[in-house]
Amino acid sequence: MARESKSRFAVDDVNLAGASFNDVNLAQARFTDINLSGAFFDNINFTNAVIGKNCSVTGMTIAGIAVAELLAAYRSRPK
Each residue's pLDDT tens digit, 5-52 = 565 778 888 888 899 999 989 888 888 888 989 999 999 898 999 888
Band of residue 67 on the pLDDT scale cut at 50, 70, 90: very high
**Domain residue spans of the chain:** 16-79
CB neighbours of residue 67 within 10 Å: 15
Give the 3-state secondary structure of residue 73: helix
CB 11 within 8 A of CB 19: no
pLDDT at 69 over 90: yes
pTM for this structure?
0.63
